[in-house]
Each structure stands twice: as structure tokens, then as C-alpha cells.
């Protein structure tokens, strides 16, 4: 059992570093190297969940392996668990991690929620707010009473409601009553809501030199309504990473992922990731990638991904270039970089991460 995992600090703006355990990669690669990552000062391991192996099992496995590294879900989908089960799961993982778990939440998208889970994808904004409210109620061990538009835990009949019995509260005492919540969001309204109600925000394909034009106004709006007790908004960014220049194979894999998301994750007019590329200033390129991808010409779509976009959302280079890029992310308000190493072998991925952490901790 992990005891007192460090995890990302919720105060200040000093850059923290984590690893993202991708949904298609082998959990043992990170788990077997935990002692090394602890020694070099890794702050966080985030575990992804799409239509893959579930993240909860893998997070529990990692909690048994590390005594200092914080854990994060990246992300639990809003629609696949009830709000109370989400709260229960987070409380359990936080207990296993010695108070070092961050609950990452997100709406995902219609392709996953409807196409894989068979659940209607609706009202992500409203559902997010209600789930956050219910989770915090559960962690305080309050009797769960919620009468919202999307979720209802009714009062008992004795209290004037329709419930069949007394409202229940969590049996166990959580490690913490204020488990940090970090929400993945891209749209203007959803990002504003995250800045208002959550401890953290997880954007994707984040270019520190262009992000303000996409999300700056939304963040400002949300922060103006933020409860000061939530502290500074933590911005946790997943970033493609290599120490030095990636191999052609690795670069092709990054291009392929960008093309998949920009071109294939949704129909025209309903692709969140394409919208980001457009708002970054790649309107013509985003339209071309989408047209090629949706017409079955994936190889051409991959080739159409601009170098400037690829390198803008990645962390590649030698020591001085990496320091410069990290400074750019920090200047943009990013507090944690969740590294997604792209090297071709497990050994090189481990070496790249340890070299970076040695560099920044020096």
C-alpha cells in the first residue's frame, strides 16, 4: 500500500512532471520502473481510460507499487459511472495512494459514450457540475441528497421526498474530504466552468504560444467566479515527449494521432479537436486533414499535419531546447506536464524521462 504519495502540489506555479500511462500501452512498463521514477522525483502517474482496459484496476495496481508518486485518472468518463460510484472509487484510490490521488473527469465524446457504452451523450456541462457537487458531498460523509436536472438522489418520504428510506452517507472515512478534481475540457463554456468549480484543468494538444487565443477569455470568465478556497487552478497538460530528436517512426506516430483526432474524431462541425486546430490558426490545414481522413485517405491526412502544429504541442529537443519549451509552458500557466514518451523502446523511454527530470532538478 502506498503511503503519503507526493502528487502534484496544489499551490504555487513551480512546474511538476508526470507520466501518462496510455490506454494502449503496457502498465508493467511504468510499474516496473517505479523505483527509478521515485528516485528522480517524478510527481504523478496519470492513467488513461477510453474504450480500453479500465483505469481503476491499473491505478490500484500502481498504488501498490509506489510510496511517493501521486496518481491521477486521465480520465474517468462522466457517463460510465454514477456520481456516487465515482466518488466511492476516488475515495478508495485516495486511501490506497495515501492521500495522493487526483480525480480526473471528462465527458469524452459521442463515439465512445454512445458507440461503445450505449449511453446517450447529453448535457456534459450540467452533468459535470452535478457530479462534482455529489462527489464532494460523499467525501464529506454527508447524507447524499441531490435533486438536480440530471441526477436525483431523493429525500426520504419522512422528509417530504419520494425515497424509500433514509439518505445514506459513505460508510468509510475518506483519507481526505477534499480530493482534488481535474476536468478535461475544450469548449469555451466547459473550460469556463472548470476554472470556476475544479482544482485542475486537463486540456489536450496544448500549444503554450497559442493557447491564450483559444481559452484565455474562458479561463478569465471562470476564474472571476472561482471560490478562493479552491486555490490556484492547476493546468495539467499531456505532452508528446522525447529527449533529443524523435526517430522518424516516433514522429510518424505523433502525426498519426494528431490526424486521427483532428480528422477522424467526429463529423464535420462536431469535432472538438478540429476546432482547436482552427482556433490555433490552422483553418485550411484542419479542413484538409479532416477531408482526407473522412474520405478514407488516412496516409495523406497524416502527411498533411503541419510541422509547426506537431512541434507546438510536443516537448522535443536537447537540454537547452527542453528548458526553453518548459519555460514557455510555465509562462502560459501550466503547472504539470504529463509526459507521453515517444521513443521506440521501453529502455529509451525510461532514459528520456530520467534525463529530463535530472535536467530540471539539477
CB distance 71 to 45 below 8 Å: yes
181/90 Cα distance (integer angstroms): 10
Residue 159 has pLDDT above 60, yes or no: no
8/182 Cα distance (integer angstroms): 12
Report the chain's mean pLDDT, rounded to a whole number.
92
- Can you give the pLDDT at residue 2? 39
- Can you give the pLDDT at residue 155? 59
CB distance 33 to 350 below 8 Å: yes
Radius of gyration of the chain (CA): 20
Residue 136 has pLDDT above 70, yes or no: yes
Buried b (16+ CB within 10 A) or exposed e, 91-113: bbbbbbbbbbbbbbbbbbbeebb
Report the Cα 12 to chain-centroid distance in Å.
Answer: 20
Percent of the chain with pLDDT over 90: 84
CB atoms < 10 A from the CB of 60, how many? Answer: 16
Find the farthest-apart pair of alpha carbons in the chain and give their distance in angstroms, rounded.
Answer: 68
Residue 202 has pLDDT above 90, yes or no: yes
Q: What is the pTM of this model?
A: 0.92
Average pLDDT over residues 16-43: 93
183/203 Cα distance (integer angstroms): 8
* Cα distances (Å, whole numbers) of residue 33 to 19, 163, 201, 208: 12, 49, 27, 30
CB distance 185 to 204 below 8 Å: no
Q: Note the pLDDT tens digit of each residue in 112-126.
A: 899 999 999 999 999
Residue 3 has pLDDT above 50, yes or no: no
- Can you give the pLDDT at residue 262? 97
Q: Note the pLDDT tens digit of each residue in 318-341.
A: 999 999 999 999 999 999 999 999
Percent of the chain with pLDDT over 70: 93
Most confident of 9-13, 143-147, 208-212: 208-212
DSSP string across 128-174: HHHHHHHHHHHHTT----EE-SS-EEPPBGGGTS-BSSPPP--SSPP
Indicate the pairing of strand 152-153 with strand 146-147. Answer: antiparallel
CB distance 322 to 312 below 8 Å: no
Q: 21-25, 29-33, 219-223, 224-228: which range is least confident on average?
A: 21-25
Q: pLDDT band for position 152 (50/70/90)?
A: confident
Average pLDDT over residues 214-226: 98
3-state DSSP of 285-346: HHHHHHHHHHCCCHHHHHHCCCHHHHHHCEEEECHHHHHHHHHHHHHCCCCEEEEEECCCCH
Q: What angle do CA 293, 121, 337 make, to 5 degrees?
A: 65
Q: What angle do CA 10, 15, 16 make, to 5 degrees?
A: 70
Q: pLDDT band for position 174 (50/70/90)?
A: very high
Amino acid at each position: 500500500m502506498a503511503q503519503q504519495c507526493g502528487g502534484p502540489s496544489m499551490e504555487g506555479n513551480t512546474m511538476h512532471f508526470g507520466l501518462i500511462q496510455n490506454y494502449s500501452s503496457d502498465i508493467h512498463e511504468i510499474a516496473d520502473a517505479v523505483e527509478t521514477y521515485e528516485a528522480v522525483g517524478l510527481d504523478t502517474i496519470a492513467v488513461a481510460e477510453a474504450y480500453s482496459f479500465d483505469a481503476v484496476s491499473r491505478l490500484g495496481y500502481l498504488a501498490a507499487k509506489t510510496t511517493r508518486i501521486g496518481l491521477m485518472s486521465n480520465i474517468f468518463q462522466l457517463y460510465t459511472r454514477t456520481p456516487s460510484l465515482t466518488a466511492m472509487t476516488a475515495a478508495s484510490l485516495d486511501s490506497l495512494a495515501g492521500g495522493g490521488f487526483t480525480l480526473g473527469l471528462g465527458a469524452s465524446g459521442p463515439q465512445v459514450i454512445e458507440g461503445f457504452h450505449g449511453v446517450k451523450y447529453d448535457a456534459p456541462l450540467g452533468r459535470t457540475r452535478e457530479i462534482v457537487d455529489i462527489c464532494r458531498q460523499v467525501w464529506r460523509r454527508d447524507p447524499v441528497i441531490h435533486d438536480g436536472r440530471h441526477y436525483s438522489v431523493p429525500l426520504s418520504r419522512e422528509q417530504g421526498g419520494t425515497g424509500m428510506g433514509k439518505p445514506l452517507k459513505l460508510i468509510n472515512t475518506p483519507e481526505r474530504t477534499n480530493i482534488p478534481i481535474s476536468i478535461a475540457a475544450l469548449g469555451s463554456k466547459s473550460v469556463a466552468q472548470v476554472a470556476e468549480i475544479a482544482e485542475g484543468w486537463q486540456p489536450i494538444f496544448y500549444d503554450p504560444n497559442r493557447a491564450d487565443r483559444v481559452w484565455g477569455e474562458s479561463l478569465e470568465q471562470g476564474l472571476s467566479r472561482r471560490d478562493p478556497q479552491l486555490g490556484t487552478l492547476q493546468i495539467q497538460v499531456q505532452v508528446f515527449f522525447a529527449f533529443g530528436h524523435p526517430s522518424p517512426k516516433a514522429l510518424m506516430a505523433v502525426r498519426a494521432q494528431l490526424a486521427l483526432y483532428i480528422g477522424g474524431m467526429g463529423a464535420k462541425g462536431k469535432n472538438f479537436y478540429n476546432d482547436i486546430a482552427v482556433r490555433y490558426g490552422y483553418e485550411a490545414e484542419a479542413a484538409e486533414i479532416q477531408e482526407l481522413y473522412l474520405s478514407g485517405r488516412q496516409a495523406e491526412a497524416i502527411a498533411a499535419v503541419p510541422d509547426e502544429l506537431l512541434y507546438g504541442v510536443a516537448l522535443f529537443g536537447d537540454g537547452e531546447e527542453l528548458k526553453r519549451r518548459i519555460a514557455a509552458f510555465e509562462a502560459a500557466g501550466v503547472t504539470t506536464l504529463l509526459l507521453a514518451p515517444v521513443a521506440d523502446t521501453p529502455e529509451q523511454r525510461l532514459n528520456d524521462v530520467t534525463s529530463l527530470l535530472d535536467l530540471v532538478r539539477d
